[in-house]
Amino acid sequence: MNGFKKKVASVAALGLATTLTLSGCGTSGNTSGANNSSESGQENITFSWWTSPQRTAETKKAIALFEKKYPNIHVTLEYTGWSGYWSKLATESAGGSEPDVMQMDASRLAEYITKGQLADLSSNQTIDTSAIPKNILQLGDMNGKLYAIPAGVNATTWIYNPAILKQAGIQFDPSKNYTWDDFAKMCEEIHQKLPNVYGVDDEIDQGAALAYYAQTRGEHMYTPDGKLAISKQTLTDWFTYWLDLQNKGGCPPAQVNASYDHSNTQESPFIKGETAFQYMFIGEELEYQQDLGKPIEHALFPDWADSGKPYTVHPAMYWAISSHTKYPDAAAKLVNFLENDPQVSKIFLNERGVTVNQDNLKADAKVGDSMLKEQDSVMSQVEKVASPSYLDPPAAGQIGDLLTQIAQQVTFKKLTPSQAADQFYTQATNMLAQG
């Protein structure tokens, strides 16, 4: 599912309470002339992305290589955490001053296309897409036009701490199919045997996980034409599942879940050894393993092997170009470089999702570590059991925020699961109707 999600990104370590704007070559932080060409013919473009410390460092290296190759193009860097990124981008876009090149998420892509803020890349001759599989490239397509280039693909998985399972005496074989009930029982058993540990972090507000859950029941989050497809019963059962898990110790209490910054890996219960499992997109887990200081393993979601194929291949993120850019050729050169340059691919590896350039994917596998090889293997497993996906409607980002708000009221028992399902269904339907 091209899902709305609570982005896990360690921004606190960089002090990113507000958006940071830096010179690409590191010589100046002054952006007053960011979109003015100098008399020497230099073109100045702005590039923005949501970030983590690891992603920031890697991106700076990539931009340094780009500016070395194209000395007449200067790149101003803008980066911040997940939520701050979208609020800033919305403000800039409303005034027609969005960055020339921007990182884009599937939950927001249709919104920005519909508003006419992204350039049509269908006939762009600068961006080489020949090494990207057609089914992956089409994830950036709307109404027959290409508006965004997938930077990588990923899928929803669990990461888990095998040391906790061993301590609890629990056998778990992720190669075998299992049900949502099986998973709940295992999480409850973990807490029973290790009272200071919960089975899993509370993922009640994870939109991509909810969409997956719906697909295990033969439903989808949205119809292809952008209407709400999930039933009230499935919504009720989803909220009930996590509330029951909370009541039985399978996941932390509401107060614990609300007490820490979910965008800071250092505060994660998983890192502190307080949960055995955590929801994670492929490509984001390396920082967790480093912070945990112990090996972690992956598991596909419950019912992954069902005949209904509940998995979809998810675009991790995209590269997109503003329809208002004064320098479309320079912007396209940057997108092409980030997408296809072999050196950049070796810098990024799978941090922005599993690489979609097939030539780079093969080359990276030869130099990557065990984590990269495992990520590639898990993604390959997902692709074998996945069904096709389609673009989320323009209101998907708003609906993701709505899910977060209503889910929190369920965890604090201010709404029953049935009441929450009714509210979510009504408000989400209205949001979709308004576009």
Tokens matching residue 291? 């912070």
Q: Quick check: 61 and 103 in contact, CB under 8 A?
A: no
Burial class of residue 346 (count of CB atoms within 10 Å of its CB; 0-12, 13-18, 19+)? middle
pLDDT for residue 4:
38
CA atoms within 13 A on the CB side of 50: 21
Residue 251, pLDDT > 70, answer yes
Q: How far out from the chain centre does Cα 152 lie?
A: 10
Residues 397-424 have pLDDT tens digits of 999 999 999 999 999 999 999 999 999 9
The yes-or-no answer to whether 43-152+317-376 and 155-313+392-433 have a common fold is: yes
Q: How many CB atoms are closer than 10 A to CB 84? A: 17
Superfamily designation of domain 43-152+317-376: Periplasmic binding protein-like II (3.40.190.10)
Q: How many CB atoms are closer than 10 A to CB 185? A: 15
Number of H helices, E strands in the chain: 16, 15
C-alpha distances in angstroms, 380 versus 130, 139, 140, 318, 355? 20, 18, 21, 20, 12
Class at the top of the CATH hierarchy for domain 155-313+392-433:
alpha beta
- Where are the chain's structural domains? 43-152+317-376, 155-313+392-433
Tokens matching residue 364? 């990276």
Q: Quick check: 271 and 291 in contact, CB under 8 A?
A: yes
Q: Quick check: 220 and 226 in contact, CB under 8 A?
A: no
Q: Mapping DSSP to helix (H, G, I), strand (E, B) and coil, where does residue 74 land?
A: strand
Q: Give the residue with greater pLDDT, 35 vs 95.
A: 95
Mind giving me the DSSP string for 383-435? HHHEE---PPPTTHHHHHHHHHHHHHHHHTTSS-HHHHHHHHHHHHHHHHHH-
pTM of the model: 0.82
What is the chain's mean pLDDT, rounded?
89
Tokens matching residue 303? 């019912």
Q: Quick check: 19 and 31 in contact, CB under 8 A?
A: no
Band of pLDDT at residue 388, cut at 50, 70 and 90? confident
Amino acid symbol at 416: T
Residues 333-357 have pLDDT tens digits of 999 999 999 999 999 999 999 999 9
